[in-house]
Amino acid sequence: MELTIEEVRCWLVDIPTIRPHKLSMATMGSQTLMLVQIRCQQGIVGWGEGTTIGGLSYGPESPEAMKLTIERYITPLLLGQPLSGVTALSEKLAAVRGNSFAKSAIETAFLDAYGKYVGLPMAALLGGARHQRLPALWTLASGDTDNDLNEAHRLLETGRHHAFKLKIGARDLETDVNHAVRIKQTLGEHIHVHVDVNQGWSMAQALSAIPRLQAAGITLIEQPIALTAVDQLIDLAKRFPVTLLADEAVTDAQQGLSLIRQGFSGAFALKIAKAGGPFQALKLAHVAQAAGISLYGGTMLEGSIGTIASLHAWSTLDLEWGTEMFGPLLLKDDVITQPLIYKDGHLSLPTGHGLGIDVDQDKLAYYARK
């Protein structure tokens, strides 16, 4: 018997961060998780998450807008519908234009519920896990060089992380480049460090900074210029041996194919939110793999639910540049009963059906926005 969807509920959950997290477009002191639950017959429920960075600083969807979109426009499409394959879900969601973050939360909740129904982990629904542990770096984003170095040394000593990402682009070019070069040179040649500019530079600034970062041993530079400056991004990728990572410039399979056709030779950052869900993100990954484009598992600084959904998708791939699935570690608390396991520079895939997690109802009630 096919199960049908009986209820869809959303919550806005505000959780403080362990320290200010400085990006080129915002400094975060808390994170808002938009959580969604799909409830089906026989008491089967699925959980999903929609999260962005700094409210509307990153993109056009805020957590509040995601909740409204799901409640007013997506829920009527789903109620009474069978819990069948994800392709049928995608066809239903096509009636709503855009709103990939909200759709990602719904697709995640759908896959979680479906996995519980058929008795399989989400990764099995996405092609099957090839890895039970994935490398996970930590982002150094306090904005202070000495603080970032102290943080990096502590994490290296404990073994929790073996690689790092630096958030730059908010300050003047000289300060940012000196900051990145000093951290890389201090940590040494065997510690991977890459920088994320978050679209913070002009073409002229990128041409000035990239050779210096490359000479210091930084091997990956993420989205140095505006997402709309595709020609310039392609030009930069051709000019330098250092790998340029397209993030905001590539959201889904169609954009990925367009970049490849225009000659882009860097790497793609995968994010389930910008693609519209785990299944949709894998479509982009497979296009990239066919063209020889290397991959990186990115985050929107999700909590555990969004992070685990991403992890299930990434586990089906070989990610040449690893992942940055550290989001739950940036938050002071969590809403799942068993925290994720970060150890030896890796993050372990949960066991169990669907996502493989349980939500702590008391924590959800405590942090949910009233």
CATH number for the domain including 19? 3.30.390.10
Which structure tokens are listed for 130?
């090839």
Using CB atoms within 10 Å of the CB of residue 350, give its burial: 0 to 12 exposed, 13 to 18 middle, 19+ buried.
Answer: buried
Q: Which residues of 146-168 are buried (b: 16+ CB within 10 A; e: fewer)?
A: eebbebbeebbeeebbbbbbbbb
Alpha helices in 216-303, H assignment, sequence order: 230-239, 253-261, 272-275, 278-291
Phi, psi for 218 (deg, rounded to 5) = -80, 125
Q: Do 23 and 198 form a contact (C-beta atoms < 8 A)?
A: yes
- For residue 51, being part of any structural domain is answered with yes
Tell me how far apart the alpha carbons of residues 304 and 14 are, in angstroms, rounded to a whole number.
13
Verify that 172 and 203 share a domain, yes or no: yes
Verify that 217 and 256 share a domain, yes or no: yes
Verify that 129 and 17 share a domain, yes or no: no
- For residue 24, being part of any structural domain is answered with yes
Per-residue pLDDT of the chain (370 residues; tens, 9 = 90+): 678 999 999 999 999 998 877 666 667 788 999 999 999 988 999 999 999 987 777 778 999 999 999 999 999 999 999 888 889 899 999 999 999 999 999 999 999 999 999 999 999 999 999 999 999 999 998 889 999 999 999 999 999 999 999 999 989 999 999 999 999 999 999 999 999 999 999 999 999 999 999 999 999 999 999 999 999 999 999 999 999 999 999 999 999 999 999 999 999 999 999 999 999 999 999 999 999 999 999 999 999 999 999 999 999 999 999 999 999 999 999 999 999 999 999 999 999 999 999 999 999 999 999 8
- For residue 90, being part of any structural domain is answered with yes
Verify that 252 and 166 share a domain, yes or no: yes
Using CB atoms within 10 Å of the CB of residue 306, give its burial: 0 to 12 exposed, 13 to 18 middle, 19+ buried.
Answer: buried
Which structure tokens are listed for 267?
């790497």
Verify that 238 and 152 share a domain, yes or no: yes
Looking up residue 332, the CATH number of its domain turns out to be 3.20.20.120
Verify that 177 and 279 share a domain, yes or no: yes
- For residue 290, being part of any structural domain is answered with yes
Q: Of 204, 222, 207, which is closest to residue 166 (Cα–Cα)?
A: 222
Verify that 98 and 240 share a domain, yes or no: no
Verify that 103 and 185 share a domain, yes or no: no
- For residue 281, being part of any structural domain is answered with yes
> Which of 22, 67, 116, 167 is the catalytic position?
167
Catalytic-residue membership of 103:
no
Verify that 27 and 115 share a domain, yes or no: yes
pTM: 0.94
- For residue 75, being part of any structural domain is answered with yes
Verify that 363 and 333 share a domain, yes or no: no
Tell me how far apart the alpha carbons of residues 128 and 145 are, in angstroms, rounded to a whole number.
41
Q: How many structural domains does the chain have? A: 2
Verify that 114 and 130 share a domain, yes or no: no
Cα 272 from chain centroid?
Answer: 6
Domain that holds residue 146: 125-348
Question: Which residue is it, tokens 């403080």?
Answer: 16
- For residue 266, being part of any structural domain is answered with yes
Q: Which amino acid is at 84?
A: S
Alpha helices in 98-229, H assignment, sequence order: 100-118, 122-125, 145-158, 173-187, 203-215
Verify that 208 and 290 share a domain, yes or no: yes
- For residue 354, being part of any structural domain is answered with no
